[in-house]
Structure 1
């Protein structure tokens, strides 16, 4: 939203956020991160009257030649629906952290990056639900003291990209508060992610 409005994230939160949420409502069923309709957002930022979702759907149907007398704004589940880690976990009957760990370790679809978050299709979540677990933790009472491998955290690479963009002047500086909100973690955890991202960038081989 801040980028569309041409202001910094801090300025958006301080001066524009309250008026925006009062005029534009999230899409039905939208959870964190909250998703808005692009046409409604553009209308608000242009100072125009925000069209209703029903009006937008009717206009799309008319353009497609499939106008109906009555139509709700809630569509049935579809295999291509994009789900957050929490939503995918609910479908797969596992925790959100398991979805992230499975994706990082290659045990399920890696998902896709959209709007600063990683998403999985409903089809991938349902496939994960149909698959029996193929791994387990250390056996109780095991004498093996070797450290267990840690799956790669996709957040580190994402934050490293954002840090590089900030250093190049292509975006505002990255803050722990921003990352805490994006990944739904504490600011302390966000700081650790930033530290790991900086370390990864420092240790990465340079092109010759």
Structure 2
């Protein structure tokens, strides 16, 4: 997933940060300049000039973001304020991203780091079994888990469930959340957590 999101994140704009480094102050971000070869995308809070106008993160693009974590060119943004799952998904879209699909250990750890940085206990991430109980899929339809806690992931597919989850205690627990210091949890849609967002596909 990091490779896939990295290709998206690096496919437009100009680089204004060092991959895998801690977020830097505005004063230390490389000053972007207009570039005739720049491919314009919507601006994303990542110290890059995504829209090729010579400025990085202008306007209100970083408003409402409480923590950012970078791994291999991929930016994860944890939004401020807890909300129900549908509102979290909408909030990511309004920031130009989507709830992050966690498909490898590096992304899983980056997401946990974002929670720790913001002192949050949980975050909404991509995944649900709302369409078919016990069949967990990403927003793009990719199957990543079948069953309850003793279930199975498809061969080669990462899973990060916390101990005992997913469980069968309530059929309404159809949505995937990340719990700080533990892992994935099946949660009801009206539980409240911040949204953890990653860059969505950039329109060319």
Return the TM-score normalized by structure 1: 0.25
Q: Compare relative contact order (CA 8 Å, sep 6+) and give the higher one, 1 or 2.
A: 2
The answer to which structure has the higher helix fraction is 1
Return the TM-score normalized by structure 2: 0.25
The answer to which structure has the higher strand fraction is 2
